[in-house]
C-alpha cells in the first residue's frame, strides 16, 4: 500500500452536523485505512480509519499510551497541560496500568452495573419529574444530560452530589478548555478536592469506590495520591462522555423520525438502538491516541518507532467492509462492531455503566414525554467549539 506522506490533511476538524463526520474525513478514509494527517502543532501522525487495522494496532504492545513522553501526540493545545498528560490508567502502560486496572475492574463489572439499574431509573425519573414541572421547554443538556452521569458517578465514586456545580465545571475545564492554563487550573482544583475526600475516607470509609479502595492505600498497594488520581480519571471519563452523548443521540433520533418511531414503539430493542447510536455518533471522535515504541509493519506499511497514531472511531465505525451503507443511521442494524469504547487493554472501563445510563436515558425520555421535539430550528443547534469531545452547547426542547 502506498501512503502519500506529503498530502496530510488537517485533523481533527469540527463537525458541523452533530452526527456526521466532516467531508474531509470521508476523503481521507476513501484513500485507504492508514493515512497521515497534520495536527494543530504541525506534527504529522498516522490516522487509522480501518476497523481491522484499528483493532490490530490497539492490541499491539509496541503502542504506548504514556502521555508524558514528547512522542505522544497532543491533539489540542489545552491537552499539552500537565493535568491532561499525567493521567493515571488511561495514560499508563503495563505493568502499572494492569495494577491500577485490576483494582478498578470489579467496580465496573456487568453485574455491578445491573445492580445499579433501579437506582439509575429512579434518578432519571426524578429529573423528568422536575423537567415536566418546570416546562414546557427545557435545555436538555442542563436539565437531563449533565445531571444523569453527575448523579450516577457521584454516588458510585462517593463524591457528594451537592458539589456537582464544582465538579461538573472542573471536569469540563480539563476536557474542554481552550488554553493549557485553564486545564492546569481545573485539574489542580479537582485533584485538591478529591484528595481531601480520599483523606476523609481513610478515617471514615464511605460506601463509594473511594471508600472501598482506601484499604489498598492502608495496605501500601497504592498511595493516597494514586487513589486521588484514579478517582479523578473516573470523574472525568464518566462525566464528559455520557453527558455529551445523551443530547447527540436525542438530536440524531429527532433528525430520523422513522427511526424514532421504531424506537418509541419498541419495535427495536433499546440495547440495539443504543449500540447503533454509539457506532454512528462516535462521541469521542477518536478512540485512542498512541505513540509507537518500536517499528510495526502493517498492510505493507512500516510505522516507525516514535511515530504518533490516532485511531478515528468516527471513520473506523463507518468501515464499509464491516457495515453495509455505513453512513446510514439504522437502529435495527444489530452490529456491535465499533470502536467507540476503544479496544485492547485501555478499552473503556465504564462501558457497561455507560450503556445502562444511555438506555435508561433515551427509553425513559421518549416514554414519559412522547411529544418531545426541538424548540428551535435544527440549523440553530451549535456544536461545542472547544475540546475534542463531540457535544452540543445546548439542546432546547419542548413538548
Ligand atoms: C458514551 C460513553 C463513553 C464513551 C464513548 C467512552 C469511551 C472511551 C474510550 C474510547 C476509551 C479508551 C481510551 C484509550 O484507549 O485511550 C475509554 C477508556 C476509559 N473509560 Fe470510557 N467512555 C464512556 C463512558 C465511560 C464511563 C461512564 C466511565 C466511568 C467510569 C468511563 C471510564 C473510562 C476509563 C476509566 C477509561 C480508561 C481505561 C484504561 O485506560 O484502562 N468511560 N472510554
C-alpha gyration radius of the chain:
21
Where residue 301 falls (left for φ over 0; alpha for ψ -120 to 50; beta otherwise) is beta
Q: 46 in helix, strand or coil?
A: strand
pLDDT 10s digit of each residue in the chain, 399 long?
Answer: 445 555 899 999 999 899 999 999 999 999 999 999 999 999 999 999 999 999 999 999 999 999 999 999 999 888 888 777 888 999 999 999 999 999 999 999 999 999 999 999 999 999 999 999 998 999 999 999 999 999 999 999 999 989 988 888 888 888 777 788 888 888 889 999 999 999 999 999 998 999 999 999 999 999 999 999 999 999 999 998 999 999 999 999 999 999 999 999 999 999 999 999 999 999 999 999 999 999 999 999 999 999 999 999 999 999 999 999 999 999 999 999 999 999 999 999 999 999 999 999 999 999 999 899 999 999 999 998 766 789 999 999 999
Residue-range domains of the chain with CATH: 23-398 (1.10.630.10)
d(CA 356, CA 114) in angstroms, rounded, equals 8
Cβ atoms 131, 138 nearer than 8 A: yes
Span from the CA of 376 to the centroid of ligand 1 (angstroms): 32
Query: Is the alpha carbon torsion for 71, 74, 79, 81 positive or negative?
Result: positive
348: Cα separation from own chain's centroid: 8
Give the residue among 238, 236, 257 at the shortest CA–CA distance from 358. Answer: 238
Span from the CA of 394 to the centroid of ligand 1 (angstroms): 23
Beta strands in 89-152 (DSSP E): 138-139
Span from the CA of 13 to the centroid of ligand 1 (angstroms): 22
User: Which residue out of 208, 237, 289 has the highest number of ligand 1 atoms within 8 Å of its CB and is therefore the one to mutate?
Assistant: 237
d(CA 304, CA 36) in angstroms, rounded, equals 13
Span from the CA of 5 to the centroid of ligand 1 (angstroms): 31
Which residues surround ligand 1 with Cβ inside 6 Å? 65, 89-90, 101, 233-234, 237-238, 241-242, 245, 283-284, 287-288, 340-342, 346, 348-350, 353-354
Amino acid at each position: 500500500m502506498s501512503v502519500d506522506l506529503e498530502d496530510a490533511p488537517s485533523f481533527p476538524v469540527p463537525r458541523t452536523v452533530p452526527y456526521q463526520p466532516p467531508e474531509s474525513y470521508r476523503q481521507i478514509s476513501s484513500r485507504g485505512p492508514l493515512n497521515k494527517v497534520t495536527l494543530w502543532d504541525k506534527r504529522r501522525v498516522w490516522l487509522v480509519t480501518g476497523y481491522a487495522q484499528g483493532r490490530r494496532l490497539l492490541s499491539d504492545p509496541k503502542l504506548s499510551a504514556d502521555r508524558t513522553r514528547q512522542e505522544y501526540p497532543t491533539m489540542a493545545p489545552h491537552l499539552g497541560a500537565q493535568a491532561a498528560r499525567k493521567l493515571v490508567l488511561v495514560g499508563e502502560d503495563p505493568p502499572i496500568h494492569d495494577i491500577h486496572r485490576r483494582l478498578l475492574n470489579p467496580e465496573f463489572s456487568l453485574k455491578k452495573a445491573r445492580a445499579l439499574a433501579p437506582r439509575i431509573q429512579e434518578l432519571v425519573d426524578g429529573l423528568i419529574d422536575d423537567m415536566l414541572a418546570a416546562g414546557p421547554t427545557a435545555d436538555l443538556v442542563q436539565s437531563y444530560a449533565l445531571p444523569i452521569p453527575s448523579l450516577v458517578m457521584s454516588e458510585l465514586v462517593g463524591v457528594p452530589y451537592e458539589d456537582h456545580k464544582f465538579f461538573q465545571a472542573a471536569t469540563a475545564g480539563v476536557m474542554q478548555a481552550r488554553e493549557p492554563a485553564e486545564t492546569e487550573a481545573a485539574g489542580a482544583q479537582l485533584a485538591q478536592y478529591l484528595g481531601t475526600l480520599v483523606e476523609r475516607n481513610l478515617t471514615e470509609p464511605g460506601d463509594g469506590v473511594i471508600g472501598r479502595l482506601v484499604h489498598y492505600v492502608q495496605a501500601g498497594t497504592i498511595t493516597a495520591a494514586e487513589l486521588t488520581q484514579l478517582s479523578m480519571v473516573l470523574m472525568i471519563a464518566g462525566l464528559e462522555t455520557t453527558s455529551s452523548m445523551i443530547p447527540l443521540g436525542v438530536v440524531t433520533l429527532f433528525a430520523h423520525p422513522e427511526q424514532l418511531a421504531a424506537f418509541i414503539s419498541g419495535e427495536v430493542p433499546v440495547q440495539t438502538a443504543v449500540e447503533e447510536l454509539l457506532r454512528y455518533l462516535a462521541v469521542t471522535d477518536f478512540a485512542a491516541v498512541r505513540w509507537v515504541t518500536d517499528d510495526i509493519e502493517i498492510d505493507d506499511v512500516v510505522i516507525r518507532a516514535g511515530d504518533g497514531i490516532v485511531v478515528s472511531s468516527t471513520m473506523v465505525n463507518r468501515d464499509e467492509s464491516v457495515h453495509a451503507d455505513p453512513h446510514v443511521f439504522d437502529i435495527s442494524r444489530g452490529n456491535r462492531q465499533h470502536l467507540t469504547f476503544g479496544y485492547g487493554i485501555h478499552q473503556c472501563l465504564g462501558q457497561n455503566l455507560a450503556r445502562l445510563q444511555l438506555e435508561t436515558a433515551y427509553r425513559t425520555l421518549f416514554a414519559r414525554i412522547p411529544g418531545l421535539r426541538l424548540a428551535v430550528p435544527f440549523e440553530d443547534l451549535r456544536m461545542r467549539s472547544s475540546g475534542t469531545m463531540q457535544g452540543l452547547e445546548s439542546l432546547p426542547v419542548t413538548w
